[in-house]
Amino acid sequence: MRAPTSPRRARAGRQRGFTLLEMLVAAFIMAIVAGLGWRGLDSVARSRDDADQRMRAGTQLQLSLQQMNDDLAQASDGGPSLPAVSLAGNGDLLIVRRVGVALGSDLRASPQAPSPLSAALMVVRWGLRDGRLLRWASPPQLARAGLVQAMREPSGGAVTLLDDVRAMHVLVYRYAGNGLQGQSGAWVNPYTAADGDSGASNPLQALLRTPGGLRLGLDLAAPQLRGVIEREFLLENRG
């Protein structure tokens, strides 16, 4: 017959520690939980970074299009052979525009004596170089010779507006003719005959006339912005 177990020995049996196997299982479970938690936090951080990069890329694109809109809104014919909008031989977009008013300037100052810059024009050039969309702006010009020179080659420092741009496409809106026929038209290649000159023998003369509108297409290849984006701009009050 077995002797009865004393209360002290029973308590000692109940208070014994975990075995090595139990501790290994617990540590393994905790490692799995920690790994899952880390992966979750890493996924959230990556999603936040991706969203931030997409927002910055979208903001930069919007600012670039706003700059293009401002250039075209201020476009002005510079006289014979200096249209407000044209294309250079290498595909660069050329815009002859009025000089913008400096931010913070008082338009009411000296109304009887306008600044010489109020009559000045400048040439803005948009073009692609090594996958970057660049913008050049010439100094203000009061003489025609300075505008002609700025049309021939970039002047001033180039500003990078967008990275990872595969191509830039430009179409212009040409009206069908004069009078009532001039109320309709089409988006065509910039070298297509000028407004009302559908029978022109020299297509290059089309570049010497300012079109009624411009359609800009950008083929974007950035990780945050992919695909072709098009924007149309109406050209009015350009004289």
pLDDT digits (tens, 9 = 90+) for 160-203: 999 999 999 999 888 776 544 456 788 888 876 555 454 444 55
167 vs 129: CA distance, rounded Å: 10
The neighbouring-strand residues paired with 227 are 220
- Local structure of 55: helix, strand or coil: helix
Q: Strands 226-234 and 185-188, how do they pair?
A: unpaired
The answer as to whether 47 is a domain residue is no
The answer as to whether 86 is a domain residue is yes
Decide if 97 contacts 83 (C-beta within 8 A): no
Q: What is the pLDDT of residue 107?
A: 41
The answer as to whether 136 is a domain residue is yes
Range of the domain at 156: 53-102+115-234
155 vs 124: CA distance, rounded Å: 9
Mean pLDDT score, 54-77:
89
Mean pLDDT score, 149-163:
86
Q: Is the pLDDT of residue 237 over 80?
A: no
The answer as to whether 1 is a domain residue is no
What's the domain count of the chain?
1
Mean pLDDT score, 47-67:
84
**Full-model pTM:** 0.69
Mean pLDDT score, 56-78:
89
